[in-house]
Amino acid sequence: MDRVVAIDCFAESLMRYRAGYVAIVAVDVIRATTTAVTGVALNRRCFPAASLEAATALAEELDDPLLVGELGGNMPYGFHLTNSPAELALRSDVFRPMILLSTSGTQVLCEAKGRGAVYAACLRNYTAQVRFLAAHHPRVAVVGAGTRGEFREEDQMCCAWIAEGLMHAGYRPSDEQTTKLVQRWSGAPVDAFLGSNSVKYLMSTGQHSDLNFILEHVDDLNAVFALEEDEIRILDASGDHSAHREIAG
């Protein structure tokens, strides 16, 4: 089978990938997939929700869940934590399952269900994600979450780095947009996305710790994170389900 990679953005774009598409990789660096990956890597169960109603319904089914997330940048009433990987990493209550809600990132994850294998990726595990995809999936769509109609720079960069890695493994870009994004971000330093409106939002709202966390945790997890039966589960780089433990390096 021809090996192809596409870069796309927004939950609405998933309509382009029919049911049975081999792999969808959701990317929301600031901050949903970084939060999800961080929680699961530290042994916490994670259930992404597409809406506040879905999150509320799921909270009725789980034992003492931790409600994490934001809508339009604001933490919903009754939630315990905003969509913060830095704050989540400091918590010791990893026995509490996390219900994760965000304006766009969790919508991409949930909308992708049924279209193929679905993965949550971020800068923490982009190399492991490339290796896993190259070993298991000949057709890949890497989809940035997008915010307020923008394909934000941090997501462009992470998507491009994953696509570039696959192109080095013999994949061809599906279209001109994919080629241009890979060219734009190839060899860029990790702080090249600091002009993003997402970064400006974090800075203006005093959430510097999340930006620092993202910049300080790049390519430090040797694992992939698959959405299976509504839960994000950790796989090691070979594709095996790992015992719940932090996988680093």
CA-to-CA distance for 83 and 30, rounded, in angstroms? 9
Phi, psi of 104 (to 5 degrees): -135, -40
Residue 131 is classified by DSSP as: H
CA-to-CA distance for 129 and 25, rounded, in angstroms? 9
Name the residue ranges covered by the structural domains of the chain.
4-34+103-233
Q: What's the whole-model pTM score?
A: 0.94
Q: What is the CA radius of gyration of the chain?
A: 16
The superfamily in CATH containing domain 4-34+103-233 is ComB-like (3.90.1560.10)
Other C-beta atoms closer than 10 Å to the C-beta of 32 total 30
**What is the reported pLDDT for 223?**
97
| C-alpha separations of 128 from 36, 123, 136, 241, 247 in Å | 16, 10, 12, 14, 11
**What is the reported pLDDT for 222?**
96
**What is the reported pLDDT for 242?**
58
pLDDT-above-70 percentage for the chain:
94
Strand ranges across the sheet with 172-173: 66-69, 98-101, 46-49, 231-236, 223-228, 117-121, 23-27, 139-144, 4-9, 172-173
**What is the reported pLDDT for 18?**
86
Q: What average pLDDT score do residues 25-50 get? A: 98
Which among 234, 245, 2 has a CA at the least distance from the CA of 120? Answer: 234
The pLDDT tens digits of the residues spanning 15-31 come to 999 888 899 999 999 99
Is the pLDDT assigned to residue 249 strictly greater than 60?
no
What is the longest distance spanned by two Cα atoms in the chain? 48
**What is the reported pLDDT for 237?**
64
Q: Which residues contact 13 (CB under 8 A, 6 or more apart)?
A: 143
Sign of the torsion formed by the C-alpha atoms of 202, 218, 247 and 8 = positive
The pLDDT tens digits of the residues spanning 104-128 come to 999 999 999 999 999 999 999 999 9
Q: CB–CB of 197/146 below 8 Å?
A: no
Structural tokens at position 193: 């996305």
pLDDT tier for residue 58 given thresholds of 50, 70 and 90: very high
Q: What average pLDDT score do residues 182-192 get? A: 98
Question: Residue 44, by phi and psi: left (phi above 0), alpha (psi -120 to 50) or beta?
Answer: beta
The pLDDT tens digits of the residues spanning 216-248 come to 999 999 999 999 999 999 997 666 665 444 444
205 burial class (0-12, 13-18, 19+ CB within 10 angstroms)? exposed
